[in-house]
Amino acid sequence: MTTCFRRRGYHSFALYKINLVPIRHNSLLSHRALERLPNNLYHKLTQYGQSEVKLVPKIEHAPLYSKVMNSDKPFSLNWNPIFKPSQHKLYQLLEAIVFHIICVIDYLKQGKEVPDLHREFFSQVIARSGKNEGSVDCEKLRSRFAIPYNGILKMGLQCFSTISLYINEPYTEDDLVAWVDSCSARSISSSVSLVTENTPAFVLFDILLRSPTFKEQFLVQSELWTHNINYLIMQMRKDTYILKTMLDNLTYYAVMFEPHSLVTLYQSTMDFINSPKTRSLMKLSSAFFDDLIWNLAVYSLRYQKLDPLAIANAQELLMSQIRNVQGTSLSLKGYLGIAIVMSRISYSKGLQVFHVAEKKFRKDTCSKKDLLTYYLTKIHLAKTPSEAINTFKIASNKFDYSSTLWLFFIRKLKYLNVMDEKRAKLFYKQICNSKVRITNDIVYELLHFVGELNVLEDMFRSVSNGKQVTLDNAFRVRYIQLLKRREPNKEDLPKLQWGSEKGHEFRNFDSVEKYISHIYTTAPAKSIQLIVTYLDYISKWDTVRFFELYKEEILDRDHLPNAACLKLLLETAKRSEDVKVSDNLLAPQFAIREFQGNVQATAKSYGISPRDDLWKSYISLLAEFDYVSELSKIMKWWIDLNFRPKRSTILSLLNTLPEEFALRHIKHHQVAKSKKDWDWPTTREFRRFKWFHGSSSVSR
């Protein structure tokens, strides 16, 4: 098995065996319960008011078990140990044993009494295995996790040792410690650092199911899958649920962090499952690929600045799998997913696909789920607010408890630029007074429009029990943005939940600066959005500290910046000519290096897809400090990226050139076929722009 690790600059290297790195923290799994998958699982298992949460002893359920054991919700574990000599069944049993051991350790770390259900499980394994390996020593587990001696844990280790003997590659207590460390690690990078050549697939799948906070963590997950598909599927081939869940999770975060990686992710997977040698190992139905096509559309709607072509290319690949390999046709859900994404490239073409779906699938014969996707798509395709409102009203009569319906409606009004604070407060109140579940996504969308701290505090409390790490960061971002508007020392600062430790009084701060710093530094996991928000605040009054913080939070932690981070870096560097930063570079030199190292080099490479506003900031910095050579490369760069700059962006670049060169470009742009689709300005428009903005041309 090969594990690839991603580092800054989009280069990878292979690592086959590494030393274990201990990671110490107070709680074993409580932080994992805040991730996307445990939250989704919890909702799925409780959405219909079930009297108890029914779990299965699989590693992906361990964080959920931790969440349930610390709540008042009754729970049960479904699954009796089955002892069969097949490798697949043995690994299933090994996973269940490790699950129970993790749960026992979690109880012991919290000083709680271990439930008898774990003793009963281990007793059954010992009885059915027919072997007794004699005395085992839990000293390594006890020492690593700082827990007291416990007889149930000793039984678990005995089961682990017994089953390991039946597997071709026996495992040791050191291996077990590494697996528990991996499952309880605070970050994906820490989990991956514990991977060795013999790490079982269920531990690797646990890493693939985690919620990455930064782009480089997602890229590590993506490479972990694409470089180890054979190893992972060979062990887990009969568990299609885990494969589907994992691919959906990687899809969600690929859309968030690196949409251009989707094609590679899907192509690697389909090459394996379609290969004559391996196609019998894992079969995925066309319905699954239809769901992926739809989910791609839904996930992408969260990001207005996303490149829809990257999503469309991934959908096209999935569509070819359905038609050419599966031998079936797209379902209604598949058509509608394509219509949504296509409408972001060409509204008329998206609408055309929607009308084809309407003719092909009659509404009166659709399932309830398909009918909901139909109305969701119709809301998204609405051209006016009134059209969106009318469709929403019709759909609400049929799906009055649908959170997704509300989410699409709110997003559509945002896309139409008619959402404001008044509407956000009204919608929030309406949802609270209905039976609609207030989801993380709904709150995330409404947060952008709320300008009153008391409303934000109310929202914070409404999702406090099921709040994901990403939403916690979103609240902190919005609070900092609102606090920045206040005059220091002139208003009473709000008393917020993260202003105190649990069980203590809220802390008071005598300045906005101290309070913003507290909100930032106490975040359990800082997202790139939170880092950028704090950097933006610092940049306004201390550029030296800005670059120090950039080094601490981005460079030293091996993070990759996003587009907003690069834009802020370029703009701050423009007014920091004499500031020395990393590698003894001046701030402008450093910012240029960061830009060039983190944006796409070509249309097919990974990296940030710069939009016009980011290009303008880059051009402005280059012009300010006379970087003639770098300015001369931009048009070729645009061609390599298949980027279509706006007229204002072209004008910004032309304005940095000597006038005769700029006029020559304008007069000859029709001859250059590679640039024929650009929105070139006229000579008159260029001269008007130059007169209005002043010349920014650099010396040659």
Average pLDDT value for residue range 44-68: 85
Residue 327's region, left for phi above 0, alpha for psi from -120 to 50, else beta, is left
Residues 412-460 pLDDT 10s: 999 999 999 999 999 999 998 888 888 889 989 999 999 888 888 888 8
What count of other Cβ atoms lies within 10 Å of the Cβ of residue 390? 14
Residues 65-109 have pLDDT tens digits of 888 887 777 888 877 777 677 788 889 999 999 999 999 999 999
Contact between 655 and 696 (Cβ < 8 Å): yes
Is pLDDT of 237 > 80? no
Confidence of residue 20 (pLDDT cuts 50, 70, 90): very low
| Most confident listed range (26-35, 220-229, 267-276) | 220-229
Q: In the prediction, which pLDDT does 235 show?
A: 82
- Listed in sequence order, the DSSP H helices in 76-209 are 87-109, 116-129, 139-145, 151-166, 173-184, 188-192, 201-208
Which pair of tokens denotes residue 485? 């508007």
Q: What is the rounded distance in angstroms from the CA atom of residue 199 to the CA atom of residue 1?
A: 9
Whole-number Å distance between alpha carbons of 541 and 51? 55
pLDDT of residue 489: 53
Among left, alpha and beta (phi > 0; psi -120 to 50; other), residue 489 is left
- pLDDT of the residue at 1: 61
- pLDDT per position as a tens digit, 681-698: 988 888 898 888 766 655
**Residue 362 has what DSSP assignment?**
-
Nearest to 577 by CA among 556, 547, 552, 614: 547
Using DSSP's 3-state secondary structure scheme, residue 599 falls into: strand
Which of the 8 DSSP states describes residue 322?
Answer: I
DSSP letter at 59 equals G
Residue owning tokens 């980011």: 614
What region does 446 belong to: left with phi over 0, alpha with psi -120 to 50, or beta?
alpha
Q: How many CB atoms lie within 10 A of CB 186?
A: 15
Alpha-carbon separation of residue 113 from 23, 136, 150, 377, 487 (angstroms): 25, 22, 10, 51, 51
Amino acid at position 418, single letter:
V
Q: Is the pLDDT of residue 21 over 90?
A: no
Per-residue pLDDT, 194: 95
Per-residue model confidence (pLDDT) at position 493:
65
- Indicate the burial class of 650 (C-beta count within 10 angstroms; 0-12, 13-18, 19 or more): buried
Nearest-CA neighbor of 88 among 226, 183, 176, 200?
A: 200
Q: Name residue 76's beta-bridge partners.
A: 54
- Residue 245 · residue 284 · CB < 8 Å: no
Mean pLDDT across the chain: 87
Q: In sequence order, what are the residues at sequence separation of 6 or more whose Cβ sits closer than 8 angstroms to the Cβ of residue 553?
A: 526, 531, 535, 559
* Residue 368: its H or E element: helix 368-381
Q: What gap in Å lies between CA 232 and CA 225, rounded to an integer?
A: 8
> How many Å apart are CA 9 and CA 554, to the nearest integer?
13
What pLDDT, on the 0 to 100 scale, is given for residue 3?
52
* pLDDT tier at 201, thresholds 50, 70, 90: very high
* Cβ atoms of residues 321 and 340 within 8 Å: no
Token pair belonging to 52: 């108890």
Proportion of the chain in helix, strand, coil states, percent, rounded to 5? 60, 5, 35
Q: How high is the pLDDT of residue 500?
A: 47
Q: Which amino acid is at 125?
A: V
Q: Is the pTM of this model over 0.85?
A: yes
507, 514, 450: which is closest to 488 by C-alpha? 514
Q: Distance between alpha carbon 632 and the CA centroid of its chain, in Å?
A: 36
Whole-number pLDDT of residue 463: 72
In this prediction, residue 466 has a pLDDT band, given cuts at 50, 70 and 90, of: low
The model's pLDDT over 276-318, given as tens digits with 9 standing for 90+, comes to 887 777 778 899 999 999 999 999 999 998 999 999 999 999 9
**Residues 105 and 146: beta-carbon distance below 8 Å:** no
Instruction: Write out the DSSP string of 474-528.
Output: HHHHHHHHHHTTSPTTTSPPP--GGGS-TTSPPP--SSHHHHHHHHHHT-SS--H
Contact (CB, 8 A) for 328 and 286: yes
What SS3 class is residue 160? Answer: helix
Taking every pair of C-alpha atoms in the chain, what is the biggest distance, in angstroms? 91
What single string gives the DSSP state of each residue in 519-581?
HHHT-SS--HHHHHHHHHHHHTT-HHHHHHHHIIIIITTT----HHHHHHHHHHHHT-TT-B-
